[in-house]
Copies of this chain bind each other. A is one copy, B any other.
Amino acid sequence: MPQTFDTLMMAAYSQNFPPLLDLFREGEKADFLHVVVEGAVELHAKWNGRETVMAVVRPVSAFILAACVSDMVYLMSARTLEKSRIIMLPAGDLRSAMRRDPDLAMASMNELAMSYRVMVRHAKNLKLRSARERLAAWILQQSGLAGSTPSFFLPLEKRQLATYLGITAESLSRLLRGLQPDGVKVDGTRIIITDINRLRQVTELDHLLDDEVVTFEDRVS
């Protein structure tokens, strides 16, 4: 509803952030819903000296909706990966707006449902695939995200990608080299798929394990 949009937007901030800036830390009270409009944001978590990247959020999506709607504490920390534009709206305003506007409520529900499914897939990946398979699947997925190009640049540092995949940086380095005979070439921060069929033999993408690639075209249609 336009009027909901207007009142919500009056209370909202739109801000530009430089790369690698911390937006909030796990354990803090969720006061604002964040929406990435441009750039990319990483969700990560720490415990007992270990750290792991949980997800990378790209435009246009909300993140930590769950903490906002249920008025709880963040379970993950957030940091920009690139220069990013982010809209922040007060969690309280959001909640009351949702109560008034069923369309907004349904849209939020959908967003939340998608985040849930992303997390389910992440956990399934960790439990059902080997590190090698996870890496292969990630590369296939990434190339799909970039528009089915055989070559793309890493959106995060390798060290962080490693934690996302649930392995160490050293293991990632070795696995990456180990995938060379399977159709993957690495040149610094660039990944080139030289033989997609060989790579698919390592792991086939599976819509129950890998996020459906939602391109910008899908979103606007």
A194–B116 CA distance with the chains assembled, in angstroms: 37
Q: Are B109 and A208 in contact (CB under 8 A)?
A: no
Chain A, interface SS category:
helix
B54 touches A113 (CB 8 A): no
Contacts of A100 in B (CB 8 A): 102
Could you say which interface size class chain A belongs to? 35 or more
Q: Chain B residues with Cβ under 8 A from A213's Cβ? A: none
Q: A102: which of B46, B48, B99 is its contact (CB, 8 Å)?
A: B99
Interface segment, one of A63-71, A152-160, A170-178: A63-71
Residue from B27, B70, B124, B128 in contact with A113 in the complex, judged by beta carbons closer than 8 Å: B70
Other-chain contact of A112, B50, B72, B109, B166 (Cβ < 8 Å) = B109
Tell whether A60 is near chain B: CB-to-CB under 8 Å. no
A50-B113 contact given A76-B120, A120-B76, CB 8 Å threshold: no
A87-106 to B contact mask, C-beta < 8 Å, 1/0: 00000000100111010011
Contact assessment for A128 and B48 in the assembled complex, using a CB-CB cutoff below 8 Å: yes
The complex places the Cα of A96 from the Cα of B4 at a distance, in Å, of: 20
In whole Å, how far is A30's beta carbon from the nearest beta carbon of chain B?
A: 10
Question: Smallest CB–CB gap between A196 and chain B, Å?
Answer: 20
| Docked complex Cα distance between A69 and B107 (Å) | 10
Complex partner residue of A116 from B112, B126, B207, CB under 8 angstroms? B112
Is A206 an interface residue, CB under 8 A from the partner?
yes
Known interface pairs A47-B209, A75-B208. Does A52 touch B110 (Cβ–Cβ under 8 Å)? Answer: no
Partner of A75, one of B47, B52, B117: B117
Min CB–CB distance A26 → chain B (angstroms): 6
- Given contacts A102-B102, A116-B115, is CB(A45)–CB(B128) below 8 Å? yes
Interface set of A (CB-CB < 8 Å, partner B): 26-27, 45-48, 50, 52, 54, 65-67, 69-70, 72-73, 75-76, 95, 98-100, 102, 105-106, 108-110, 112-117, 119-124, 126-129, 163, 166, 206-209
* Nearest 7 interchain pairs by C-beta: A66-B113, A105-B105, A47-B128, A119-B119, A66-B116, A70-B113, A52-B127
